Amino acid sequence: MDEVSALVRQQDRDRYLASLFAPEAKRPHLLALYAFSAEISRIASQVSEPHLAEIRLQWWMDTIDGLYHGDAQAHPVAQALGRAIVEGDIPKHALMNLAKAHQFDFYSDAMPSLHDLEAYLGETASSLIQMTAMVLDKDAALECQEASGLAGVAYGMGRLFNALPLAMRLRQGFLPLELLAQRGVLPDKVAEPEQEAAVGVVLADLRLRAQDRLAQLRRVTFTIKPPVAPAFLHVALAEAYLARAARLGAGMLTRGCDISQLRKQWLLWKAAKSEEF
């Protein structure tokens, strides 16, 4: 297994498993995009200070800029990303916006609103789906932009729920301030035992939004043509994440809402056969 594949397998198991259903010739390019996303996503957990995270992020942004100017790269993920950019004719702004969105991860500021959270997921999870669709089939990718947006929010919310324990340790404020305020919870008191019921309601509000986006996605799945279906395959795990989230409530703050790899493999295989997400 090469370094890029190994990184995705370790850092982003859902998308790694889903990539196994992609055409063999396209798979390295999907993995390159997933590896790039993983590299950016883990910056916050690798450094002790925001300014150090900013330095690493700037390195990646400079690297992206270099790729579009034909600069040779030594980093294996950057090399693979360069080939994926060519294969999918991926615009620079999409990669730059994904990187910039993760600046939020470096600080303890609260996400202002649910709209802002969906915008964050749009620039990260949704954009990643659209870029992988472009790698798979540029023409078919044009037809599924709305589906990419909805899918990214639905899956991204479930993924966020699963990552809440890490977010709490890093003091990241992904729970929207407007929802916390509606329930009388201060951002720095989210983990307090006496706030468990109120935080559980906030998480339920987020889960309902994710379920709504998933329902909207299912109404436009006809726009997801077979060639680009592998870009959406990991979204088949969203419903299982959300179901577990409903059972755990505020317990997600310490436990996440992950499901077993065996179940993931079954859900992905089932979705690949039925092309239903």
> Tens of pLDDT along 121-157?
999 999 999 999 999 999 999 999 999 999 999 999 9
Q: Report the distance separating Cα 113 and Cα 51, nearest Å.
A: 25
Judged against a pLDDT cut of 80, whether residue 277 lies above it is answered with no
Q: Report the distance separating Cα 220 and Cα 256, nearest Å.
A: 29
- 10 Å Cβ neighbour count for 184? 9
Judged against a pLDDT cut of 70, whether residue 189 lies above it is answered with yes
By three-state DSSP, how is residue 113 classified? Answer: coil
Q: pLDDT value at position 276?
A: 73
**Domain ranges for the chain:** 3-274
Least confident of 64-78, 99-113, 200-214: 64-78
**Which residues have a Cβ under 8 Å from the Cβ of 15 and sit 6 or more positions away?**
8, 30, 34, 234
Tell me what percent of the chain is helix, strand and coil, each rounded to the nearest 5: 80, 0, 20
Judged against a pLDDT cut of 70, whether residue 1 lies above it is answered with no
Q: Counting every residue, how long is the chain?
A: 277
* Main-chain dihedrals φ then ψ at residue 98, nearest 5 degrees: -60, -45
Q: pLDDT value at position 98?
A: 98
3-274 fold? Farnesyl Diphosphate Synthase (1.10.600)
Pick from 92, 89, 98, 76: which is nearest to 28 by CA? Answer: 76
Pick from 1, 4, 30, 9: which is nearest to 229 by CA? Answer: 30
Half-sphere exposure of 131 (CA within 13 A, CB side): 28
Q: pLDDT value at position 70?
A: 87
